């Protein structure tokens, strides 16, 4: 006899886990399950990122309003949650540097956006290179945006803790188990796990990260979209560089119309330093190595050539960017050179150890254009979250609350008690802020 659930969430990344946290808090009577194919939550992108709790200065307040708001409130919520559970969180700021006059204009725009997205004067400051030199003598630039309200965390630890809270609220986490087939039968979903067992759900939430598009397509949703995967690689810096700067350093992106940034100088929450990530096109959301990429190359190429992505592949600027990124895959010194532009002291020969790569899946529309914002789709007895990219980990707590509230308001999935207290937050007051 198949197990019956009220809600099944596909994907135990930071998003699916956070959604389950609120659902279990607001619904004592509902049976909720999260299905995750890996042996632990946040095994993929959520546990393989830069670990920054980002202030919302990079996000256009008009085009990415909800994402910017989620990042703004996410920062405070993670800070509060980390204090409550005794998890590592450092308010260590970030510096965004401009390397030429054009870049200074971009910093001015970021300052404006940051303020529009809620940052105050004390949170962010535009500095000349001489002003910055007094604080960070090793950084070379034309000007810098010093963002004080930016932090570092380990999202794998955060997701694991949210999972424990969600479990305590009654969610069942089914790990090491892959959803292999979904079929709607007699007003419920029949979900096949690992090709053999079956469970049933009245409502399905697709939070499957790099596979969210495939799952949406399986149930005939979002058919005009496809996606492209980019592997972001990191290199670990030796101990002698750990005090090179006090703060992580980003640079104004060379290709702002693409959904990723140039490699940064990263100080992680444990104090170790890394360079990265680049963005190398790969053929699978799990294309960490050659074997997986070779296996997926033909199906992915066929899918791309038959969709809007075809136009992207033949776009000259995209080709230039891809070549740039592939060069920094093949040669460590090319990646280091990109960071050396603003931290000249770094010597590529001293950087020998690779970090943990993470994969970003960016959605492309039928015109071959990258979609800049997250895509939320109401399905029939289902809800789909596509293109949930940076700063998705920062905004996961408020964003998930938004989704749960939306499902309630739209009548797709009514919650029992919206006035409930979920950990340190009243659910209704999170929603009021968004
Ligand atoms: C290189 C890089 C750096 C980043 N840096 C930052 C940062 O510094 N700060 C920040 O805020 N954000 C950052 N991000 C973005 C952030 O990591 C993501 O937005 C976020 O982790 C996405 O979470 P998710 O839960 O949607 O996806 P995921 O973490 O990918 O989770 C989806 C899960 O679904 C599971 N799944 C998929 N299909 C199935 C199936 N059929 N059956 C069972 N399980 C399935 C997968 O195994 C996966 O665990 C970065 C991203 C990248 C790639």
CA gap 22, 17 in Å, rounded: 9
Q: What is the pLDDT of residue 312?
A: 66
Question: How many residues appear in the chain?
Answer: 434
Q: Which atom of ligand 1 is nearest to the CA of 392?
A: 19
Q: DSSP of 292-307, one letter per residue?
A: HHHHHHHHHHHHHHTS
Specify the number of domains making up the chain: 1
Helix (H), strand (E), coil (C) string for 188-216: EEEEEECCCEEEEEEEEEECCHHHHHHHH
**DSSP E strands, 82-225:** 89-90, 94-98, 124-128, 143-147, 151-153, 172-174, 179-185, 188-193, 197-206
State pTM to two decimals: 0.93
CA gap 413, 407 in Å, rounded: 5
Of all protein residues, the one whose alpha carbon is nearest to atom 26 of ligand 1 is 209
Any domain includes 83: yes
364 φ, ψ (degrees, to nearest 5): -120, 135
Q: Which atom of ligand 1 is nearest to the CA of 389?
A: 19
Any domain includes 424: yes
Burial of 340-368, coded b for 16+ CB within 10 Å and e otherwise, reads bebbeebebeebeeebebbbbbbbbbeeb
**DSSP E strands, 28-128:** 32-35, 52-53, 89-90, 94-98, 124-128
Any domain includes 119: no
Q: What is the pLDDT of residue 331?
A: 66
Q: Which atom of ligand 1 is nearest to the CA of 210?
A: 30
DSSP 8-state assignment for residue 412: S
Among 398, 137, 119, 114, CA closest to 246: 137
Cβ atoms 48, 210 nearer than 8 A: no
* CATH number for 165: 3.50.50.60
Residue 124 CA, ligand 1 centroid: distance in Å: 28
> Which residue range(s) make up the domain with 393?
1-50+57-87+153-225+371-434
**List of the chain residues with pLDDT < 70:** 1-2, 256-260, 293-302, 305-306, 308-331
Tokens of 45: 């992108």
Residue 168 CA, ligand 1 centroid: distance in Å: 23
Among 244, 239, 209, CA closest to 227: 209
Any domain includes 33: yes
Cβ atoms 177, 34 nearer than 8 A: no
* Tens of pLDDT, residues 280-339: 888 889 988 877 766 666 666 667 766 766 666 666 666 666 666 666 555 678 788 889
* Tens of pLDDT, residues 387-421: 999 899 999 999 999 999 999 999 999 999 999 99
21 CA to centre of own chain: 18
Residue 37 CB coordination number (10 Å): 21
Any domain includes 145: no
Q: Which atom of ligand 1 is nearest to the CA of 279?
A: 1
337 membership: H or E segment, kind and range: helix 332-340
- With a Cβ cut-off of 6 Å, ligand 1 is lined by 10-16, 35-38, 43-46, 49-52, 54, 178-179, 207-211, 232, 277, 358-360, 388-394
Q: What is the pLDDT of residue 332?
A: 74
Residue 302 CA, ligand 1 centroid: distance in Å: 24
Any domain includes 320: no
């Amino acid at each position: 006899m198949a197990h019956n659930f009220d809600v099944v969430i596909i994907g135990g990344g930071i998003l699916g886990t956070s959604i389950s946290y609120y659902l279990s808090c607001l619904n004592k009577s509902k049976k909720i399950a999260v299905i995750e194919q890996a042996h632990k939550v946040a095994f993929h992108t959520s546990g393989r990122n830069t670990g920054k709790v980002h202030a919302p200065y990079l996000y256009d307040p008009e085009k990415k309003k909800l994402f910017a708001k989620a990042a703004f409130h996410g920062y405070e919520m993670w800070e509060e949650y980390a204090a409550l559970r005794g998890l590592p969180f450092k308010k260590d700021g970030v510096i965004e540097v401009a390397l030429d006059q054009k870049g200074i204009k971009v910093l001015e725009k970021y300052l404006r956006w940051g303020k529009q997205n809620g940052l105050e004067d004390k949170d962010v400051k535009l500095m000349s290179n001489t002003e910055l030199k007094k604080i960070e003598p090793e950084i070379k630039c034309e000007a810098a945006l010093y963002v004080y309200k930016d932090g570092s965390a380990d999202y794998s630890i955060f997701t694991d803790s949210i999972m424990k809270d969600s479990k305590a609220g009654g969610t069942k986490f089914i790990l090491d188990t892959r959803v292999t087939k979904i079929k709607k039968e007699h007003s419920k979903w029949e979900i096949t796990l690992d090709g053999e067992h079956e469970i049933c759900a009245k409502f399905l939430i697709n939070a499957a990260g790099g596979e969210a598009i495939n799952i949406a397509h399986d149930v005939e949703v979002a058919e005009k979209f496809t996606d492209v995967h980019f592997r972001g690689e990191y290199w670990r810096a030796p101990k002698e560089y750990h005090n090179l700067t006090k703060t992580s350093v980003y640079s104004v992106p060379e290709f702002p119309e693409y959904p990723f940034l140039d490699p940064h100088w990263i100080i992680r929450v444990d104090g170790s330093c890394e360079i990265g990530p680049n963005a190398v096109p790969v053929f699978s959301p799990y294309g960490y190595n050659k074997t997986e990429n070779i296996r997926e190359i033909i199906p992915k190429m066929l899918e791309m050539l038959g969709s809007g992505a075809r136009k992207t592949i033949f776009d000259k600027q995209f080709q230039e960017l891809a070549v740039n990124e592939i060069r920094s895959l093949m040669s460590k010194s090319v990646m280091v050179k990109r960071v050396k532009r603003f931290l000249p002291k770094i010597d590529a020969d001293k950087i020998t150890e690779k970090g943990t790569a993470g994969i970003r899946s960016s959605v492309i529309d039928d015109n071959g254009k990258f979609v800049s914002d997250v895509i939320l789709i109401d399905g029939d007895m289902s809800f789909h979250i596509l293109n949930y990219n940076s700063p998705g980990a920062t905004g996961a707590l408020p964003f998930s609350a938004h989704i749960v509230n939306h499902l309630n308001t739209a009548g797709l999935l009514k919650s029992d008690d919206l006035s409930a207290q979920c950990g340190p937050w009243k659910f209704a007051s999170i929603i009021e802020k968004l």
